[in-house]
Amino acid sequence: MTDRASLEELQQILAMLRDQDKGCAWSREQTFETIAPFTLEEAYEVLAAIRDKQPELLCDELGDLLLQVVFHARMAEEQGLFDLSDVIGSIVSKMRRRNPHIFGAAADEETAGDNLSQLDAEAVMDQWRAIKQQEKQGCATQPDSVLDGVLKTLPALKQAQQIQLKAAGVGFDWPDKEPVFAKIEEEVAELREVSDDDPERNNRDRQEDELGDLLFAVVNLARHHGLDAEQALLRANTKFKRRFLSIEQALAAVNRSPQESTLEEMEALWQSAKAQE
C-alpha cells in the first residue's frame, strides 16, 4: 500500500494543476465535457479490477476514479457552481434520506436503527426507489416521463437495464422470468424471419430492429435474475479472450497461427481450453 494521504492533499494537487499561471497546460484546458470520457473509462477500470478479483489493482483504480470526482469538483468550484464539500454533503444527505430504516428522523443513531431487522434487501431497494420517485415529484423540474432520467451516454446494455428498472418501478413489468423467456423465443423467431438474403423481403434496418428487440429482451432476463447485463457481457468477453489465447498459444507451440488453421482445428482447441477451466 502507498503512504497515507488525505482528501485535502488531493484537492491541493488539483488546485496546483489547474493554476492558470503555474499549473499544467493540459489540466488547465480541460472542461466537464472533455473529462467526462475519462470518468467513464475509470469507472470501467474499477469494474474490471473487481471482475478480475485484483484488490491491489482495485485500490489503484478507485484512486483514479476519485481523481475524476475531485477534478470535476475543482472545475465547478472555479466557476462558482459548487465544491467538493457540496458534493460530499449532497451524497451524505441523500444516503440518510433514502435509508430511513437505518437513520430515520431521529437524531439518536442507536434509536434510528431499531427498524433495521424489519427490511430485507429487496424491501430496502423498493423503499429506495419509492423515496427517489417522491423526490422527483417534489422537484420543480419534474421530468415528463419516468424514463427521462436515463442517460443517453450510458452503454446500450446499461441504458436498457435502467430503462427497464424505471418502467418496473411504476408496475410495467412481468411478474416472473417465464414470460421473459417466451419473449426471447418470440424475438429469436422474428429475427430468423428477416435474416435471409432476399432484399425484397428484408433489409438491414429490419434486421437491426429485430436484433435490438432480442438484445433488449435478454437484458430483461438478466434483470429478472438479478444480474447486470453489462457485467455479464464483460465476463463473456474475458472468457472468450482467455480461450482464444489458449488456441493461439497451442498453435504457436507447433509453429502455426490461426490463419493457417481450419475452423475444425481451432474448435477442437477451444473445447480443450474449455475443459481445462
* Separation between Cα atoms, residue 112 and residue 104, nearest integer Å: 5
141 and 150 Cβ atoms separated by less than 8 Å: no
The verdict on residue 144 lying in a domain is no
Same domain, 92 and 11: yes
Task: Please give the pLDDT value at position 242.
Answer: 94
Per the structure, the complete domain to which residue 47 belongs is given by: 7-96
Residue 113 and residue 124 share a domain: yes
Quote the pLDDT of residue 103: 85
221 and 237 inside one domain: no
Residue 195: other Cβ atoms inside 10 A: 12
Indicate if 212 and 240 belong to the same structural domain.
Answer: no
163/212 same-domain check = yes
Question: What pLDDT is recorded for position 195?
Answer: 83
- Total domain count for the chain? 4
| 163 shares its domain with 216 | yes
* Claim to verify: residue 13 and residue 77 sit in the same structural domain: yes
The verdict on 65 and 85 lying in the same domain is yes
Q: Which of residues 96, 123, 148 is at a domain's end?
A: 96
Q: Which pLDDT score, from 0 to 100, does residue 244 have?
A: 96
pLDDT value, residue 138: 65
Q: Which residues of the chain have pLDDT under 50?
A: 1, 106-113
* 221 and 239 housed in the same domain: no
Segment 213-233, tens digit of pLDDT: 999 999 999 999 999 898 899
pLDDT at 35: 94
What helix, strand, coil percent values describe the chain, rounded to 5? 70, 0, 30
pLDDT reported for residue 231: 85
Where a domain ends, among 107, 137, 167?
137
Residue at 216 is within a domain: yes
